Amino acid sequence: MRQSQALIKFLNRDISILAFNERVLSLAQNPSYPLLERLRFLCIVSSNLDEFFEVRAAPHVDAMRDDEKQNDINVKSYLEISKAAHTLVEKQYQIFNDELTPALAAQDVQLVSHGDRTAEQRRWVARYFETNVRPLLVPVALDPSHPFPQVANKSLNFIVLLGGTDAFGRNNNIAIVRVPRALPRLIKLPKHLSGKQQLFVSLSSIIRAHLASLFTGREVLNFSQFRVTRHSDLAVDEEDVKNLRTALRKGLVQRNFGDAVRLEVSHSCDEKLAKLLLQQFDLPKQSLYRVHGLVNLARLMQLADLAEGDHLKFKPFEPKISQQIVPNQSFFTQLKQQDILIHQPYESFESVIEFLREAVNDPDVLSIQQTIYRTGSDPRMLKLLQEAVRRGKEVMAVVELKARFDEEANINWAEDLESVGAQVVYGIVGLKTHAKMLLVMRREGEGLKYYGHVSTGNYNPRTARLYTDVSMLTADVQITRDMEYLFRHIASQVKLPRLQKLLVAPFNLHTQMLAKIRAAELAAKAGKSACIILKMNALTDEALVRALVKAGRAGVQIDLILRGACILPIDAAGLEGRIRVRSIIGRLLEHSRVFYFKVDEVENMWLASADWMNRNMMRRVEIAWPIVDAKNRARILLECCQMYLEDNQDAWILNADGTYSPVATIPHRTYSAQQQLIQKYSG
């Protein structure tokens, strides 16, 4: 078989996702990071694992549950995934118990267990329990008329083994206690009980200390916390529902009770209780996770928020206004002169809000159209769109109701906008609208002038301070006209005309990227210099991976800057080191998508809302737009690509065996792209 046609053995996507979380977990051990920030990264891994199990685990668990021996791929892959996940969780708790807890205690920040509380602290905790906790606890003793209660996704519970008999002389010896979600999971002890320290108690330890008082006349023989993770990917047949919004609202209720995929218990949980829980939730033994400490470390994010001490947190930096923006001058005037790039979070997302505010207040603006995917809790953009309607402007919002885990927030946005008369559409049946676009139509002279904003990231002011993204304000006639056509296509589903500059999934983004890779391949075969630099969150589309490998074998130098999952094997036959993969894991979440191709001296660059995943290319509405201005292209190439390829502090390299290793550094010569950009933009 010829080299160019050699079979490619793709890396396991799920293992790659878990490997990404290993890299995030490494930040919890980074001695140069403040302690509470290290704790945050530990919590982020827990949240990421929750989502991983909620979305990715169900098919594998089904294979194990049904004992599908003939289905080797699912069974084998689940065993591999399970082993990697168990190892990751064990390391998490080891870091928390052996590294972070002692280090925080040395800084007078401590989570105080029942056994370590003073008599006065115990009295305070007992009063708190009686006043705030006990009234919300309703233990359920299991018997034929009290079957095992419904256990919601990720809710915390206690299972209790009781001795003696109940009030009716019966031997029902198992009880379930649900921990109320309405109560905070961490409570800070008052200053008179903690002195100069910052002392906290967990809600679970409060309940544990007073568990026996819930079962008067019975003996608590054994107990354990437990938490069940359930499959939570909403499945709605859009072809078969009359109202998607109503169907999703119903689905949100059902999501909490999907099939179980993981069971977490305390490490000391009695074997019989653990077995009973596995049977109850119909889970294989590999789905059981015994943990040394709090069940659900993600809740410790409250500790990072509540604890005080500037030395325990990152020194804040204030995003600057884009260097291309002229203060106190109309955006419409400026955009007639040049496009404006905003490199978040180093440059402020507030400029986007100010652009929208100017459009709302300008009497010559007739129409505003915007896509809404993940907006967060900041209501300013919603209120501006509502105000635009009140001022008589035409407002159309394309609200993606199926944005995973943001469905309820987006439904609320849709209803709030409709309540004032905005036109709200939900995109195209079978496709998620993931494109990030804002289009303003303004009356100028005898016609209309269009102004647009396109972005690699969401319209979310909070994450705009934590995620790296690049967005662009533009009055480019072709780009804004393409945006108008795309908005019209999404709303009315008329045929999309031939676009001039935008690439759009699921129509031509995939084929155009394949064509660009192919062009680089042919150039290399013809003896020309050819290189490709791609920066994105994930690379899992098999056709694009095959094309990259083929181009690498032809001599194209390819650098991939991938934050998360990657299925491309860099040891594929014939590559000879021409494809290099690195992952940047640092203080900020890398989120920008940059596609750069260079053949001899000819450069092409696109920014995009899409990763190179099959779902983005085939099952979503995505956009990529070209950067034609040479200065802007050079700036993005430097700040999003070249600086990251030089990074030797936050960078990890993909090895031939599919594992990642931190880049070796020379002492006192470390270079962090993120830190350099923070310093550059903060002056």
Residue 22 has pLDDT above 70, yes or no: yes
Least confident stretch, 154-168, 603-617, 661-675: 661-675
Residue 218 has pLDDT above 60, yes or no: yes
Are residues 556 and 449 both part of a single domain? no
Are residues 115 and 58 both part of a single domain? yes
* Percent of residues, the chain, with pLDDT higher than 90: 79
With respect to residue 378, please indicate whether it lies within any of the assigned structural domains: yes
With respect to residue 12, please indicate whether it lies within any of the assigned structural domains: no
Q: Comparing C-alpha atoms, which of 602, 612, 618 is closest to residue 581?
A: 612
Least confident stretch, 251-255, 443-447, 547-551: 251-255
With respect to residue 664, please indicate whether it lies within any of the assigned structural domains: yes
Are residues 211 and 155 both part of a single domain? yes
> What pLDDT was estimated at residue 244?
61
> What pLDDT was estimated at residue 670?
87
How far apart are the C-alpha atoms of 513 and 504, rounded to whole Å? 11
Are residues 614 and 657 both part of a single domain? yes
> What pLDDT was estimated at residue 170?
77
With respect to residue 489, please indicate whether it lies within any of the assigned structural domains: yes
Given the residues 60, 210, 434, 453, select the one marked as catalytic.
434
Are residues 214 and 353 both part of a single domain? no
Q: Of the candidates 482, 501, 520, which is a domain's last residue? A: 501
Are residues 126 and 102 both part of a single domain? yes
pLDDT in tens, 30-50: 999 999 999 999 999 999 999
In degrees, rounded to 5, the angle at the alpha carbon of residue 605 between the alpha carbons of residues 602 and 608 is: 165
What are the backbone angles phi and psi of residue 98, rounded to the nearest 5°? -95, -20
Whether the CA torsion 213, 216, 217, 222 is positive or negative: it is negative
CATH classification of the domain holding 306? 3.30.1840.10
Strand-by-strand arrangement of the 198-202 sheet = 109-111, 198-202, 186-188
Pairwise pLDDT comparison (186 vs 373), residue with the higher score: 186
In degrees, rounded to 5, the angle at the alpha carbon of residue 618 between the alpha carbons of residues 613 and 624 is: 70
> What pLDDT was estimated at residue 70?
46
> What pLDDT was estimated at residue 69?
52
Do the Cβ atoms of 387 and 356 come closer than 8 Å?
Answer: no
Are residues 614 and 549 both part of a single domain? yes
Q: Of the candidates 501, 525, 543, which is a domain's last residue? A: 501
Are residues 289 and 202 both part of a single domain? yes
Between strands 219-230 and 260-266, the pairing is antiparallel
Residue 277 has pLDDT above 50, yes or no: yes
How far is the CA of 276 from the CAs of 43, 50, 332, 489, in angstroms?
Answer: 29, 23, 66, 54
Do the Cβ atoms of 139 and 246 come closer than 8 Å?
Answer: no
Q: Of the candidates 501, 517, 539, which is a domain's last residue? A: 501
pLDDT in tens, 323-359: 899 999 999 999 999 999 999 999 999 999 999 999 9
pLDDT in tens, 130-145: 999 999 999 998 876 6
CATH classification of the domain holding 442? 3.30.870.10
pLDDT in tens, 506-543: 999 999 999 999 999 999 999 999 999 999 999 999 99
Q: Comparing C-alpha atoms, which of 470, 471, 502 is closest to residue 592?
A: 470
Give the domain range for residue 674.
Answer: 506-682
Residue 241 has pLDDT above 90, yes or no: no
> What pLDDT was estimated at residue 30?
95
- Which residues on adjacent β-strands are paired with residue 623? 504
> What pLDDT was estimated at residue 251?
59
Are residues 572 and 625 both part of a single domain? yes
* Across 490-518, average pLDDT: 96
pLDDT in tens, 169-194: 777 889 999 999 999 999 999 999 99
Confidence of residue 666 (pLDDT cuts 50, 70, 90): low
Mean pLDDT of the chain: 91
How far apart are the C-alpha atoms of 400 and 394, rounded to whole Å? 19
Are residues 337 and 423 both part of a single domain? yes
With respect to residue 2, please indicate whether it lies within any of the assigned structural domains: no
With respect to residue 26, please indicate whether it lies within any of the assigned structural domains: no
Residue 629 has pLDDT above 90, yes or no: yes
Residue 545 has pLDDT above 90, yes or no: yes
Are residues 495 and 564 both part of a single domain? no
> What pLDDT was estimated at residue 256?
75
With respect to residue 13, please indicate whether it lies within any of the assigned structural domains: no
**489: annotated active-site residue:** no
How far apart are the C-alpha atoms of 588 and 466, rounded to whole Å? 5
Alpha helices in 8-71 (DSSP H): 13-26, 35-56, 58-65
Are residues 496 and 515 both part of a single domain? no
Domain count, the chain: 3
Residue 71 has pLDDT above 90, yes or no: no
